[in-house]
Amino acid sequence: MLVNNISYSYNNQDNFTLSNINIEIKRGNVACLLGHSGCGKSTILKLIAGIENPKSGTIFINDRLVASSHTSIAIEHRNVGLIFQHSALFPHKTVVENITFAIHLEILKLLNIEKYENMYPNALSGGQQQLVAIARVMAQNPDVVLLDEPFSNLDILSKCRIRHHILSLFSSKNTPVLMVTHDPQEALNVADFIYVMKSGKIIQSGVSSDIYIIVLKIIR
């Protein structure tokens, strides 16, 4: 997955929300976007997913051009697995119907949600709904996975267990993962590569061990 010199502004304003963003994630690797609230992390995910289109620059998924100032492959044709903080489920479908297409019982078991199989989302807690959204992406077999603070409404034990399962599953399938977080410790724990953002720019990037000192400064 390659994001090449992307710039973007909401509502065609002169001040750019994102300037000259470059991100490369090798197959099977996990990269983290780390930065304070409002620095533009979610906007990068929206551009990769096809919810917004860049003003300049290019995006490639699986070596295919999906976005440039004059090209935009529709979101449903990008095969992107998206998990947001509050992932939307179809309220009129049961858990098993929500996961649809390539439903795998192993995924339900892995996430401990097989007992909710025939329930509707309104009968599930926020954390349980999030597990169903995660299962849906795991069943989709995406070309790239975008995680936007996906574990924040899970308890700490579930968070560590599920995060480990998801990241090892996609790593074993050679799928690149881009994860947004505010939490430097989480980035250091899970990422192969970290991009540190400030005010719409990437101010530092590197393998986790190399930027440890910079991340420590952010924690303080």
Ligand X SMILES: Nc1ncnc2c1ncn2[C@@H]1O[C@H](COP(=O)(O)OP(=O)(O)OP(=O)(O)O)[C@@H](O)[C@H]1O
Residue ranges in contact with ligand X by CB under 6 A: 10-11, 17, 35, 37-43, 182
Nearer to ligand X among residue 51 and residue 216 (C-beta) = 51
Helices (H), 53-120: 95-99, 105-110
C-alpha dist (Å) from residue 163 to 20, 46, 82, 198: 30, 22, 15, 25
Nearest to 2 by CA among 32, 24, 20, 21: 24
Given a contact cutoff of 8 angstroms between Cβ atoms, the answer to whether 180 and 152 are in contact is no
Nearer to ligand X among residue 40 and residue 142 (C-beta) = 40
Nearer to ligand X among residue 8 and residue 116 (C-beta) = 8
Nearer to ligand X among residue 37 and residue 172 (C-beta) = 37
Nearer to ligand X among residue 25 and residue 99 (C-beta) = 25
Least distance CB 99 / ligand X (angstroms): 26
Nearest to 123 by CA among 134, 113, 112: 113
Residue with the two structure tokens 């990422």: 191
| Total residues found in the chain within this entry | 220
* Vertex 130: Cα angle to 125 and 133 (nearest 5): 130
Least distance CB 205 / ligand X (angstroms): 16
Least distance CB 173 / ligand X (angstroms): 26
Least distance CB 182 / ligand X (angstroms): 6
Least distance CB 152 / ligand X (angstroms): 10
